[in-house]
Structure 1
Amino acid sequence: MPRTLQGSLFDCPDEGRAGEAVPGALDGVRRTQLGAGAWVDVLPAWLTGADALFERLVTRVPWRADRRPMYDRVVDVPRLQRFYDEDEPLPDPALDAARAALSTRYATELGEPFRTVGLCWYRDGNDSVAWHGDTIGRGARFDTMVAIVSVGAPRGLALRPRGGGAAVRYQLGHGDLLVMGGSCQRTWEHAVPKTRRPVGPRISIQFRPRGVR
């Protein structure tokens, strides 16, 4: 069973907006150049009210427990998932607001809006995602962006150069924003490793342009 979420003392919406999840300004985003044309933008606690949003998503989203072939057997995907294509209504207005704010901020650089939304629920330290890049579609050939907003308890996300090398690690939760841009999906990989440490549940909200998975 997933551990209970311990809320952040700093995740407090403005008075009169209790329960709302509100994207903040993006002026304070900090960019790190990773090399080979890849970069990462990070802005802690971008989304206020993130803990309440986590609780709503847990109950509103029709989560899927998928299975996949691996070698000579079929195994459970170690996380719950749900993908919303660009024509599907999103499960909470906060996701619409976040997508609109990110599209406005990155419109010039990306050249198009964010359209799809993917959700992954990491229930505890046994849930994970292996090293990969979002290279199904245009991300395999062209520069693009994938924006991730994390709600729930902090969890490690690691990036490393494709082919091996030293990893860069971030602890993301409670409304933190991370944007992978440039050649990141082609030249770097990212993962959420398993951990034996006691960790709370986290939902990763991924915003992507059309044709990137």
Structure 2
Amino acid sequence: MDFQSSLFQAAPAGVRDFSGIERMGLTRGAWVDVRRSWLPDADDVFARLVADVPWRAERRQMYDRVVDVPRLLHTYMLGEPLPHPVLEEARDALSDHYRPELGEPFRTAGCCYYRDGRDSVAWHGDTIGRGKTQDTMVAIVSVGDPRKLHLRPRAGGAEAVVVEMGHGDLVVMGGSCQRTWEHAVPKVSSAGPRISVQFRPLNVF
């Protein structure tokens, strides 16, 4: 693990502070919220996640062969304690803040460990479960080295959007984003380790 926190990063105000959120309206009712330097204790959260999450490697069928998934994974399901108390606070704060739009709390926390620039996630939307037919939200907290989240409309006709996710940043994809847009974290020539924690409502994958 060779990630080092930036000395110039802004100090977070706390997970109950949603001032400074910037919302980007996309097409067909999709949107993305970005709040920089939102998560407190991001260095400690990163270290605890690396050490304490029971990371697993997966292999998946890809056409006529089975390939390694280019990142490590673990999901905390309903009722399972999260590996850092700040993440518990973050989930509760997100549930309270977005409940008027979402109508329900965030329940699960999927974790992805991008070990270096060779780890990635291909174009997809979270459309297994209710996200295929209903508006929903996925709230992403990023810790570690910055990586770029790319978004593009499924139907074409609009420019792709790129959001850099820095250490302690919050990115929320909402509205119709999961079914009308796709997102990806592509490979890069060089990057340090990064962990993404994705908070979701029940039955959104």
Normalising by the smaller structure, the TM-score range is: over 0.9
Note closer, same or farther for the CA distance 1:108–1:24 as it changes in structure 2 (3 Å cut).
closer
Kept in 1: contact 2:152–2:182 (CA 8 A)? yes
**How many residues matched?**
204
- Does residue 120 of structure 1 match 2:112? yes
Corresponding residue for 1:101? 93
Note closer, same or farther for the CA distance 1:43–1:191 as it changes in structure 2 (3 Å cut).
same
Rounded Cα–Cα distance in structure 2 between residues aligned with 1:67 and 1:24: 38
Rounded Cα–Cα distance in structure 2 between residues aligned with 1:168 and 1:52: 30
Rounded Cα–Cα distance in structure 1 between residues aligned with 2:69 and 2:14: 31
> Does the residue aligned with 1:91 lie in a helix, a strand or coil?
coil
Corresponding residue for 1:7? 5
Note closer, same or farther for the CA distance 1:13–1:31 as it changes in structure 2 (3 Å cut).
closer
> Does the residue aligned with 1:69 lie in a helix, a strand or coil?
strand
Root-mean-square deviation (CA, aligned residues, Å) is 1.7
Rounded Cα–Cα distance in structure 2 between residues aligned with 1:13 and 1:61: 26
Rounded Cα–Cα distance in structure 2 between residues aligned with 1:151 and 1:163: 31
Give 1:111's match in structure 2, choosing from 96, 103, 107: 103
> Does the residue aligned with 1:160 lie in a helix, a strand or coil?
strand
Kept in 1: contact 2:11–2:37 (CA 8 A)? no
- Does residue 200 of structure 1 match 2:198? no
Give 1:42's match in structure 2, choosing from 31, 34, 42: 34
When normalised by structure 2's length, the TM-score is 0.95
Give 1:169's match in structure 2, choosing from 153, 162, 168: 162
When normalised by structure 1's length, the TM-score is 0.91
Rounded Cα–Cα distance in structure 2 between residues aligned with 1:184 and 1:13: 30
Kept in 1: contact 2:10–2:37 (CA 8 A)? no
Corresponding residue for 1:17? none
Kept in 1: contact 2:40–2:86 (CA 8 A)? no
Percentage of identical aligned residues: 64
